[in-house]
Structure 1
């Protein structure tokens, strides 16, 4: 039976006779040209894996999307003991590039628009409110600190390279403050978008807490979420 894999031999270094080859199996969810350590090795299409033989050790894998978008890049470690499987999330990579360019992302499910990145450093609740109030991303001046329920809508999907599980490729650097009062009057709820856990935290605690800002949904979007 003919294998469904495309088998390529790639040898950037001369192998010692006694050193067995390492195998790298690559898949992608979008078409791309593939390079290993800066050397072109072929084109990868969804549903058609590439299986590459190379030297054991550390290699730089690149996927170049069609249309000239910036390359996806990752350092991979391969061993002769067992194949290394790499799944390239190229669609998410390209979406992230577009989000970074615009500075925002709209969730079509809820109508909410989110800033592409959080504040990047620790802030208190009052500083988080002020940060969102000053934000003018996209030319908008109605950015707010989200409620805990709004933040919760972002949780889901596979973990990104930072360990956050977010339905959109937003750049997060810590826990996210909400505008919702916590268990005590001087506390607010925060959300860890790594595991979806909530915590009631003192409002004056900066630490790992960040401001991720949201724009409210248009009235028609808000109405569509109300049960009749």
Structure 2
């Protein structure tokens, strides 16, 4: 499931220069990465936190997708966009989108 709304500009995490490590580096498990991001000591605001707190469309189990999950979303963009716009949402453009896969202490 993909939200039909873009949250806009937000940070990956408000904790910078501290690597989370293996618990946020899965290319396939966005839900697990999301939990690791929001459990960072002192973390208050992030794209992952926004997804975790989202209640929309009768669902409350949203998460920031992993690198490969986001890739799959973009591969289905031509199917997702008409459904999103037909329901009052926004299209997935060619913008940059965060994924939950941490690369290191500086990059996601």
| CA–CA separation in structure 1 for the residues paired with 2:4 and 2:63 | 14
User: Number of matched residues?
Assistant: 66
More strand by share: 1
- Are positions 1:187 and 2:75 aligned together? no
Larger radius of gyration between Structure 1 and Structure 2: 1
Distance 1:140 1:156, change over 3 A: closer
Q: Which has the higher helix share?
A: 2
Structure 1 unaligned spans of 5+: 1-112, 158-165, 189-228
1:156 to partner: Cα distance: 3.7
Among residues 98, 104, 115, which one is paired with 2:3 in the alignment? 115
State the TM-score, normalizing by the size of structure 1.
0.27
1:149 aligned to which of 51, 65, 68: 68
Structure with the greater relative contact order (CA < 8 A, sep ≥ 6): 1 or 2? 2
2:12 pairs with 1:125: yes
Pairwise CA RMSD:
1.9
* Counterpart in the other structure of 1:99: none
Deviation at 1:133, TM superposition (A): 1.4
d(CA) in 2 for partners of 1:124, 1:148: 16
Distance in 2, matches of 1:140 and 1:156, equals 23
Question: Take 2:48 and 2:73, find their aligned partners in 1: how far apart are those partners?
Answer: 19
> What's the counterpart of residue 96 of structure 2?
175
CA distance in 2 between counterparts of 1:187 and 1:156 reads: 23
Deviation at 1:180, TM superposition (A): 0.3
Structure 2: runs of 5+ lacking an equivalent: 14-45, 85-89
Deviation at 1:139, TM superposition (A): 2.1
